[in-house]
Amino acid sequence: MRKAEELLVALAAALLLVGILSSANAATDPNDVSNLNLLFTSLNSAQQLTNWKQSGGDPCGENWKGVTCSNSKVSEIKIPGLGLSGNMGYQLDKFTSLTVFDISNNNLGNQLPYQLPPNLQRLNLANCGFSGLLPYSISLMSPLKYLNVSRNQFSGQVTLQFTSLTSLTTLDFSYNAMSDNLPQSFQFLTSIHDMYLQNNQFAGTLDVLATLPLQNLNVENNRFTGWVPEQLKSINPKTSGNQLSTGPAPPPPPGTPPATRPNRNRGSGGGGSSNNSGGGGGGSSGIGAGAIVGIVISVLVVGAIAAFFILKRRSRRKPSADLEKLNNRPFAPQPPHEVEESKPPQISAAANMKAFDEPSVISLRPPPIDRLKSFDEDDVTAMPIVTPKKVNIAPIDAKSFSVADLQIATDSFNVENLIGEGSIGRVFRAQLDDGKVVAVKKINASVLSNSDDFLAIVSEISLLHHPNIVELIGYCCEHGQHLLVYEFHKNGSLHEFLYLSDEYTKPLTWNSRVKIALGTARALEYLHEVCSPSVIHKNFKSANILLDNELSPHLSDCALASLVSEPDQASGYSAPEVAMSGVYTIKSDVYSFGVVMLELLTGRTPFDSSRPRSEQSLVRWATPQLHDIDALSKMVDPALKSLYPVKSLSRFADVIALCVQPEPEFRPPMSEVVQALVRLVQRANMSKRTFGNDGAARAGSGDADDYTP
């Protein structure tokens, strides 16, 4: 007994020593190795990245260009100005120890992923050819000190939330095409010293900057109006090229932030050491360091016994930490009445309805637990909650209509205005007072009778803003009626387009099909991976993909999953595990997405009882043939009249094969699907210049012109 124990203790001590030695002089963390391998491959394995490898290797030990490590984890990637092309892969968020990421002055086209390394202090994306909106994940990087996105083509209203960016000292948005008012949440930038907004199309006043501790400010060549705030005059801001008024400023209009400085205590919160982040956070990292010192002393002085107990404790801690993480994950959306008073509600700038492509309102969502800053891998239990628990949930950001309004707009829900009918309810075309045409969804009383549930759903939908998701305009909750008012898409659904076209509508070209697949993939990626908690669609099908004038897709029925009761197994969209258990996951959405891609490829419905038995189920018939070029060319929608690039077709089929795998765990996350489709478009662009400008869903490229009569 005693002998055995001694042996065990000695063994433990030996193990511990080895552990200490190896961590001091370590090979790179294997996760970071594979993340770098993927980044390298995605960046077209550029030769300029000296020493980098496509698989394996030891980035920390082998001096990979631009890579710096700390405790065998990759802490910095600085690869500016290397003429890199390609994209950055879809796993940047897995670089959890990365604090500096500089890829500026490269040629990365329009390939900025949503998910960025979550704990960055410095992020430089300048001059890379990016466009569209800034990735929302930047809003969640509370340690961020330096943000440079200058000299790209980022456009539209800034939809980032700056509430958590209280450590940010330098922000450079210059030389882009950003527009509309400055975000109200700029007022939380309590550490900001240098702000460069020049050469954009920002409008409105500079009032939100008044209370910030700025030392340098450049707002030249925008469309700002009003006066330079009195508080900023001492720093001599650069303001030429605007329509700013000179002369004494009037007293600030009501509604502007108070002229006092924001509470500095909250400022330190973002750094992870404040009170509201829980004394446990700061304190525990101290204990962590203390524990390490303690261990070393124990080894030297007390020796093996202490080591034995520490080892034993460690081995017990890890699994429980993981469990805790799982249990804490907020799956249920927060109801709207949890609005807290601790912070002023975010006032979104006036909704910009002229271009509903551009999200006009910030979605206020709590960051997911797994993005929180972690200090020490060994100390997961004590992981500080950096983000304050209290989270602002936007009030319903949609117009409330009366039943009478909608009755007039739909001509008393006249069947002539009926444009769709599903299990949830009927959809009517409606014309509002101002002439605007909208779609009104009248929810069946059988699926929803409780108005509180309805308002919770409305609040959730009103937080969703993505160019490929149908935008909610308003709702009506009156006299026991529950209606949703959406933007209207004249071209109807993909289902109609594929199967109900008459001889006057031209069939979809291959390029349009790829564009529709990519756009809807981006919509699902947004629901699954950007929204937090993830939104499972549950009813993904071609009838829920609406097409606009440019044939860009808009996914409908998002956040209505709670109203979808039974899986419609006969539809052919349900993943096998859903048919068996009735449980939906994001991976069951991925399966349904694969089915829609099959529809795009074959022009066949997912289930067709008019066909021979072996061909009735589209997935069962098509999947065995997806990797065979000859079989593929026979499967392809005859309406395409063989007008498609064969390579593109077979890559499209490869993506389908991944999505419709029977095992949910093998199906890729939607971000991977998006990347695969982006690569497909890129390659097609290289081989054929007429493919459409960037393959982005929003591109109103020449492709659409083929269709306009």
Ligand X SMILES: *[C@@H]1O[C@H](CO)[C@@H](O)[C@H](O)[C@H]1NC(C)=O
Site string for ligand X, 137-156 (x = CB under 6 A): -----------x-xx-----
By CB under 6 A, residue 192 contacts ligand X: no
Strands (E), 352-443: 399-400, 418-421, 425-431, 437-443
The interface region with ligand X, picked from 180-188, 268-276, 388-396, 525-533 by CB under 6 A, is 268-276
Residue closer to ligand X by CB (options 83, 303) is: 83
Shortest separation between residue 388's beta carbon and ligand X, angstroms:
13
d(CA 521, CA 597) in angstroms, rounded, equals 10
Token pair of 248 as six digits: 């004494």
Does 105 contact ligand X by CB under 6 A?
yes
Nearer to ligand X, 135 or 420 (CB): 135
For 545, the token pair is 């993909």
523 touching ligand X, by CB under 6 A: no
Structure tokens at 89: 């892969």
Torsion over CA: 104, 108, 110, 115 (sign): negative
The residue among 194 and 378 lying less far from ligand X, judged by its C-beta, is 194
Residue whose CB is less far from ligand X, 264 or 313:
264
- Distance of closest approach, residue 124 Cβ to ligand X, in angstroms: 6
Q: Which distant-in-sequence residues (6+ apart) come within 8 Å of 242 by Cβ?
A: 219, 220, 221, 222, 223, 224, 225
Asked if 479 contacts 403 with a C-beta cutoff of 8 angstroms, the reply is: yes
Taking the complex as a whole, the smallest distance from the CB of residue 126 to ligand X amounts, in Å, to 3
Number of residues counted as binding ligand X (CB under 6 A) = 15
Pick 282 or 345: Cβ nearer ligand X? 282
- Within 43-72, the residues that bind ligand X by CB under 6 A are none
449 binds ligand X (CB under 6 A): no
- Using rule CB under 6 A, residue 275 touches ligand X: yes
Residue in 401, 408, 419 with CA at minimum distance from that of residue 458? 401
Decide if 175 contacts 199 (C-beta within 8 A).
yes
* Buried b or exposed e, range 370-384, using 16+ CB within 10 angstroms: ebbbbbeeebbebbb
Q: Which is nearer to ligand X, 112 or 126 (CB)?
A: 126
- List 127, 159, 200, 671, residue binding ligand X (CB under 6 A): 127
Residue 293 burial by Cβ neighbours in a 10 Å radius (0-12, 13-18, 19+): exposed
Cβ at position 153, least distance to ligand X in Å = 14
- Going across the sheet that includes 122-124, the strands are 67-70, 73-78, 100-102, 122-124, 146-148, 170-172, 194-196, 216-218
- Cα–Cα separations (whole angstroms), residue 390 to 131, 214, 338, 343, 463: 33, 28, 9, 9, 18
Q: Shortest gap between Cβ of 279 and ligand X (angstroms)?
A: 7
Within 13 A of 601's CA, how many CA atoms are on the CB side?
A: 30
C-alpha–C-alpha distance, residues 344 and 680, integer Å: 45
The dihedral over CA atoms of 406, 408, 413, 418, expressed in degrees to the nearest 10, equals -90
Q: How far is the CB of 146 from ligand X (least distance, A)?
A: 7
155 versus 176: smaller Cβ distance to ligand X? 176
Residue selected from 51, 54, 265, 446 as contacting ligand X according to rule CB under 6 A:
265
Closest separation in Å from C-beta 103 to ligand X: 11
The nearer residue to ligand X, 196 or 707, going by C-beta atoms, is: 196
Least Å distance between CB 33 and ligand X?
Answer: 29
CB of 633 to ligand X, least distance (A): 47
Q: In this structure, are residues 377 and 270 in contact, taking their beta carbons and an 8 Å threshold?
A: no
170 binds ligand X (CB under 6 A): yes
- Closest to ligand X by CB, 194 vs 453, is 194
- Closer CB to ligand X, 281 or 553, in the complex: 281
* Residue of minimal Cβ distance to ligand X: 126
- Least distance in angstroms from the C-beta of 46 to ligand X: 19
Does 200 engage in binding with ligand X (CB under 6 A)?
A: no
Cβ 121 to ligand X shortest distance, Å: 14
| DSSP calls for 591-649 | HHHHHHHHHHHH---SB-TTS-HHHHBHHHHHGGGTT-HHHHHHHS-GGGTT-S-HHHH
* Eight-class DSSP state of 493: B
| Contact assessment for residue 108 and residue 128, using Cβ atoms and an 8 Å cutoff | yes
Residue number with CB closer to ligand X (194 or 370): 194
The reply to whether 104 sits near ligand X by the rule CB under 6 A is: yes
With binding defined as CB under 6 A, does residue 126 bind ligand X? yes
| 610 C-beta neighbours (distance < 10 Å), count | 7
Q: Which is nearer to ligand X, 196 or 227 (CB)?
A: 196
- Return the residue of 97, 121, 274, 552 that touches ligand X, per CB under 6 A: 274
Q: For ligand X, give the closer residue by CB, 278 or 507.
A: 278
Which one of 267-275, 311-319, 380-388, 530-538 is the stretch in contact with ligand X (CB under 6 A)?
267-275
Residues 6+ apart with CB under 8 A from 421: 427
CB 499 within 8 A of CB 564: no
To ligand X, the closest distance from the beta carbon of 120 in angstroms equals 15
Identify the DSSP state of 79: -
**Least distance (Å) between residue 174 CB and ligand X:** 7
Which of 32, 93, 172, 637 touches ligand X by CB under 6 A?
172
263 forms part of the interface with ligand X (CB under 6 A): no
Phi, psi for residue 225 in degrees, rounded to 5 = -130, 180
Residues contributing to the site for ligand X (CB under 6 A): 104-105, 126-127, 148, 150-151, 170, 172, 194, 196, 265, 268, 274-275
